[in-house]
A and B are shown apart, each in its own frame.
Chain A
Amino acid sequence: MSDLLAVSDLTVHFDTDEGVVQAVDGATLRIAPGEVVGLVGESGSGKSVTALAILRLLRPPARVLGGRIELDGRDLLGCSEQEMRAVRGSQISMVFQSPRTSLNPVLSVGRQIERLLVRHAAARPGQARERVVEMLREVGIAEPERRARQYAHQLSGGMCQRVMIAMALATSPRLLIADEPTTGLDVSIAAQILDLLRDLGRRTGAAILMITHDLGVVARLCDRVVVMHAGQTVEWAPVRELFHAPAHPYTRALLRSIPRVAGAREMEPIPGWVPSLLAPPPGCRFARRCALVRSECGVSVPVHAVGEDHRVACVAVEASQWTR
C-alpha cells in the first residue's frame, strides 16, 4: 500500500536576530492511509515546524532548505500557492492547540462552519445550516442547534476543540494533523477528545498525524510513532514496539524520565540539555547527552532497521545488539 504522506529529508531554518536557527534537520516520516501516527518530542524538537511545513504554512523568517513532501505521490513543496489552497482544508486539515483562540470571536460557531462548507464543499447556505447541526452532533456536542448560535467565548475549552475538529473533518480530508490538541485541557475532557479523534478517524478513514509531547496520549491513540529530538527524527516504530522495546537512547531516556501513575517507578531525568539550535553539533544531536556516544556520531547518522517496521537513526544500536 503506498503512503498517503511521505516526508523525506526535510530541513527548515529560521533567520533570527541572534543567528540562524536550524529548526528541522533531515526529518523523515511516512503515513499510510487511515493510520494514526504520533510525532513525539519535547518543545523545540521541531515537530510543529514539520507540521506547518507539510501544509506550506511557514513564512519568512522560516526557510525550507531541502527535502520532499509528497501527498499521494504529488510533491507539495513544488505546488503553487493556489494549488496549496485547494489542498489545505480539503485534503489536509489541521487542529491547533488553543481552540478558543483559533475560532473567530465575532462570528457564531455555526456561521464559521457554514462558511467553510460553502467555500470548500460547495454547499448551498440552506443545506449548509442543516449539515452544521449534524456535524456538531457528530462531534458529541449536546443541544447542537443552540450551540451553533453561540460564540467561542460562551463555549468551554473542550467544546471549542470539538468545534475545531468538526471544522477540520467537514471536508472529509484524507489527513488530519492535530498539534497538541489536548494540551491545556482537563484530563477528563482530554480523554473525551482523544476518543473522539480516534472514532472519527476510523469512521471517515482519515489518517491522523498526532503531534504531542505526552507519551501517554501516544500510547492510547496511535498505531505508529515517530520520535523527534532537536529537529531530527530518531526512531520510527509501531506503538507497542516503541514502548516495550525502545531502541534509540533518547527514546529510552525519555521513557525513563516520566513519572507514572500505575506503580511508582524510579524516575531519571535525561542527562544533559537539548543543544542550542543556533549552533547544533554535526551528526547526531543527541550525541553529547548519550551514554553510547562514539566518534562516528559526530559525522553522520545512518538509519537501519531493528525490527519489523522498526527503524532507528543511531550508530550505536544495531539489530543484533540489544535484546528485548
Chain B
Amino acid sequence: MSTLVSVSADEAPARRSAAALLWRRLSRNVMSLAALGLLVVVALTAAAAPVIMPYDPDAPDAERTLEPPSRRHWLGTDLYGRDQLTRIVYAGRVDLLVALEATAVALSLGAALGAVSGYRGGWIDQVLMRIIDTIQAFPSFILAMGIAAALGNRLTNIVIAIAITHVPIYARLIRGEMLRIREMEYAEAARTVGNPRRRIIFYHLLPNCFPPVVVQATLAMGFAILTVAALSYIGLGIRPPTSEWGAMTAEGAGYIVSGEWWIFLFPGLAIMATVLSFNLLGDALRDVLDPRMKGV
C-alpha cells in the first residue's frame, strides 16, 4: 500500500516549462535574436513616439525644407520642412497597428472557420472551403485594392481589406491541423469525459493548433505591412497628412532624380528592415516549434 500511495513526486524531475525551453532554443540563433531585438526597438519607439520624438510630425517648418541629414534632423526634412525621423517613427505606429489589427481579425475569423470546418467535416466543411476558395481565387493584392477602393480609404477599411485577403491562410492552416488533431486520443478523451462539441473544438483542440499559426502570423505581419505600404504608394491607402511608410516612399520617388535621396531611402529602409525582421523571426520560430509540434 505504501509503495502505491507514496507520492511519486521524484519520479520525474520537474523539467523546465515549455516557454523556457522555447526561449533557450530561440536564443541560440543569432539572426533571430537580432530580428527580435529590432522589432522590439521599433515597437517600443513607435509606442513611445509622442513622448520621445522632439518634433511634431505634421508641423511644417518653412525655413528648413529639403534639408539633408544633419545633426538637427538626423534623417533630413521633406518638402514642408517636417522632420523625417519623427515622421518615420509615427508612420511606424500606423503601419504596425494596421498590420496587427488585420492579422488579429484574420486570425480570429480564419481560425473559427477552419476549426469548425476541420472538426465537423461533411457539408459544412465543403461550403466553408468553397467560400475560402473564392477569396483565394483573387490575387491578394488586387483583392485588397478592390476592397479598399470600394470601401474608401479610411484606416478601418484598409484593415478589413487586408484581413479578408489573409483569412484563407489561417482557415486552411487550422483546418489542416484540426484534421490531424481530431484523431488524437485526447480528442476522444475529451468526448468521453462528456464535453459538448463546441468546447472540444475551441477549448481543447484549437489551442493545440497554434504553433504553425504563430509562425504564419509572424510572417503575415510582414506581408501586411507590405500591403498597406503598397496600397498607400498607389494612393488607395492611408491619406495624407498621416505619415505612413509607403506614402512617404511614394513622395520620395519624385525626388530621386533631383537628388534628395533621403526622402525615399529611409522610409524604404524602414519597410525593408521591419518586414525582414518579421520574416527572420517567423523562420526561427518555425525551426524552434517544429519538433515541438510533432509532440503535440
The answer to whether A276 and B13 touch across the interface, beta carbons within 8 angstroms, is yes
- Is A269 an interface residue when CB atoms closer than 8 A count as contact? yes
The answer to whether B8 and A273 touch across the interface, beta carbons within 8 angstroms, is yes
Give the CA-CA distance A17 to B25 in the complex, in Å: 9
B:1-53 near A, CB below 8 Å: 3, 8, 10-11, 13, 15, 21, 24-25
Give the CA-CA distance A276 to B8 in the complex, in Å: 14
Give the CA-CA distance A273 to B13 in the complex, in Å: 12
Chain A residue with the shortest CB-CB distance to B8: A273
Question: Which of B10, B11, B15, B25 contacts A18, CB < 8 Å?
Answer: B15
Render A12-29 as a binary contact track against B, CB cut-off 8 A, 1 for contact.
000001100000000000
Give every chain A residue within 8 A of B8 (Cβ-Cβ): 273
The answer to whether A273 and B11 touch across the interface, beta carbons within 8 angstroms, is yes
Give every chain B residue within 8 A of A125 (Cβ-Cβ): none
Tell me the smallest distance from the CB of A253 to a CB of chain B, in Å: 11
Give every chain B residue within 8 A of A269 (Cβ-Cβ): 3
Chain B residue with the shortest CB-CB distance to A273: B11
Give the CA-CA distance A9 to B163 in the complex, in Å: 64
- Is A259 an interface residue when CB atoms closer than 8 A count as contact? no
- Is A73 an interface residue when CB atoms closer than 8 A count as contact? no
Give the CA-CA distance A276 to B13 in the complex, in Å: 8
The answer to whether B10 and A271 touch across the interface, beta carbons within 8 angstroms, is no
Question: Which of A18, A271, A276 contacts B3, CB < 8 Å?
Answer: A271
Tell me the smallest distance from the CB of B5 to a CB of chain A, in Å: 12
Tell me the smallest distance from the CB of A18 to a CB of chain B, in Å: 7
Tell me the smallest distance from the CB of A286 to a CB of chain B, in Å: 16
Render A193-234 as a binary contact track against B, CB cut-off 8 A, 1 for contact.
000000000000000000000000000000000000000000
Give every chain A residue within 8 A of B25 (Cβ-Cβ): 17
The answer to whether A17 and B24 touch across the interface, beta carbons within 8 angstroms, is yes
Give every chain B residue within 8 A of A276 (Cβ-Cβ): 13
Chain B residues with a Cβ closer than 8 Å to the other chain, count: 9
Chain A residue with the shortest CB-CB distance to B2: A271
Give every chain B residue within 8 A of A271 (Cβ-Cβ): 3
Give every chain A residue within 8 A of B21 (Cβ-Cβ): 17
Give the CA-CA distance A276 to B15 in the complex, in Å: 12
Give the CA-CA distance A17 to B24 in the complex, in Å: 9
Chain B residue with the shortest CB-CB distance to A269: B3
Give every chain B residue within 8 A of A18 (Cβ-Cβ): 15
Give every chain B residue within 8 A of A17 (Cβ-Cβ): 21, 24-25
The answer to whether B10 and A273 touch across the interface, beta carbons within 8 angstroms, is yes
Tell me the smallest distance from the CB of B135 to a CB of chain A, in Å: 37
Tell me the smallest distance from the CB of B8 to a CB of chain A, in Å: 7
Chain B residue with the shortest CB-CB distance to A271: B3
Give the CA-CA distance A271 to B21 in the complex, in Å: 32
Give every chain A residue within 8 A of B15 (Cβ-Cβ): 18
A:236-284 near B, CB below 8 Å: 269, 271, 273, 276
Tell me the smallest distance from the CB of B48 to a CB of chain A, in Å: 37
Give the CA-CA distance A255 to B3 in the complex, in Å: 17
Give the CA-CA distance A148 to B24 in the complex, in Å: 50
Give every chain A residue within 8 A of B11 (Cβ-Cβ): 273
Render A136-180 as a binary contact track against B, CB cut-off 8 A, 1 for contact.
000000000000000000000000000000000000000000000
Give the CA-CA distance A271 to B4 in the complex, in Å: 10
Chain B residue with the shortest CB-CB distance to A270: B3
Give the CA-CA distance A32 to B190 in the complex, in Å: 54
Give the CA-CA distance A276 to B11 in the complex, in Å: 9
Give the CA-CA distance A269 to B25 in the complex, in Å: 38
Give the CA-CA distance A17 to B292 in the complex, in Å: 14
Give the CA-CA distance A29 to B13 in the complex, in Å: 32
Tell me the smallest distance from the CB of A249 to a CB of chain B, in Å: 16
Give the CA-CA distance A273 to B21 in the complex, in Å: 25
Tell me the smallest distance from the CB of B70 to a CB of chain A, in Å: 50
Tell me the smallest distance from the CB of A19 to a CB of chain B, in Å: 11
Tell me the smallest distance from the CB of B29 to a CB of chain A, in Å: 14
Chain A residue with the shortest CB-CB distance to B10: A273
Tell me the smallest distance from the CB of B257 to a CB of chain A, in Å: 56
Give the CA-CA distance A271 to B8 in the complex, in Å: 11
Give the CA-CA distance A18 to B20 in the complex, in Å: 12
Give every chain B residue within 8 A of A273 (Cβ-Cβ): 8, 10-11
Tell me the smallest distance from the CB of A188 to a CB of chain B, in Å: 27
Chain A residue with the shortest CB-CB distance to B25: A17
Tell me the smallest distance from the CB of A276 to a CB of chain B, in Å: 6
A sample of 6 more A-B contacts (CB under 8 A), given A18-B15, A269-B3, A273-B11, is: A17-B21, A17-B24, A17-B25, A273-B8, A273-B10, A276-B13
The 5 closest A-B pairs by CB, nearest first: A273-B11, A269-B3, A271-B3, A276-B13, A273-B10
A-B contact pairs, 10 of them (CB 8 A): A17-B21, A17-B24, A17-B25, A18-B15, A269-B3, A271-B3, A273-B8, A273-B10, A273-B11, A276-B13
Which B residues form the contact surface with A (CB < 8 A)?
A: 3, 8, 10-11, 13, 15, 21, 24-25
